[in-house]
Chains A and B, each alone.
Chain A
Amino acid sequence: QVQLVQSGAEVKKPGASVKVSCKASGYTFTSYYMHWVRQAPGQGLEWMGIINPSGGSTSYAQKFQGRVTMTRDTSTSTVYMELSSLRSEDTAVYYCARDIVVVPAAPSNWFDPWGQGTLVTVSS
């Protein structure tokens, strides 16, 4: 079955960077876009960006431009999300989530399934 397994929780100091991984299995990795969505404690969902695992192209939410980098490793079917210049407001659970549409059609921006989430805590 389709599975997205994310890396474990992280604790970072303000100003540092964090890199979260998301390993996909159960389908052809390069056939589906992958998104990253975050959720601050007790808050709603916030879209961060998308990567096309086939060619590696990315698109980021304006809010995160310049601070976020999404990459992929096709040899291990893994996507990565790196967020730099961390501040306390970046404390959140970060999710990878697969688009339901097959590349090269335009992404639907509907997410299914999701990874289990990675808690990133930013604290001095």
Chain B
Amino acid sequence: EIVLTQSPGTLSLSPGERATLSCRASQSVSSSYLAWYQQKPGQAPRLLIYGASSRATGIPDRFSGSGSGTDFTLTISRLEPEDFAVYYCQQYLAFGGGTKVEIK
């Protein structure tokens, strides 16, 4: 069973700053199956990135995904006010515990 560990648990940043979120898998996985979701309070998750680096429909290009093997990264190049949320990585049918991006 794959375990996904996300870090940090909370990231405190200001609008306009760069956010770097990490997702580490307990065993090497195919990058083809790595996805990232955004969830805002009281809302359903939204698919941001699939296949490790492909943006879902309608996702702004400030969101980018990278990585391979056991280490994957979601980068938000310049935080907008609407980007403050919780982010989950997913591999196959397992989810990480989430990283909360909060306003500093």
CB-contacts of B41-76 with A (<8 A): 44-47, 50, 56-57
Inside 8 A of A100's CB, which chain B residues have their CB? 47, 50, 56
- The reply to whether A112 and B88 form a contact with Cβ atoms under 8 Å apart is no
Interchain nearest-CB distance for A87 vs B (Å): 22
With A95-B44, A111-B45, A114-B44 known to touch, is A44 a contact of B50 (CB < 8 Å)? Answer: no
Interchain nearest-CB distance for B2 vs A (Å): 12
Interface size for chain B: under 10, 10 to 19, 20 to 34, or 35 or more residues? 10 to 19
Chain A interface mostly: strand
Interchain nearest-CB distance for A47 vs B (Å): 4
B residues with a Cβ closer than 8 A to A are 33, 35, 37, 44-47, 50, 56-57, 88, 90, 92-98
A residues with a Cβ closer than 8 A to B are 44-47, 61, 95, 97, 100, 108-117
Q: List 24 A-B contacts (CB under 8 A).
A: A44-B88, A44-B95, A44-B98, A45-B45, A45-B88, A45-B95, A47-B93, A47-B95, A100-B50, A100-B56, A108-B50, A109-B33, A109-B90, A109-B92, A109-B93, A110-B35, A110-B50, A111-B45, A112-B47, A112-B57, A113-B44, A113-B46, A114-B44, A117-B44
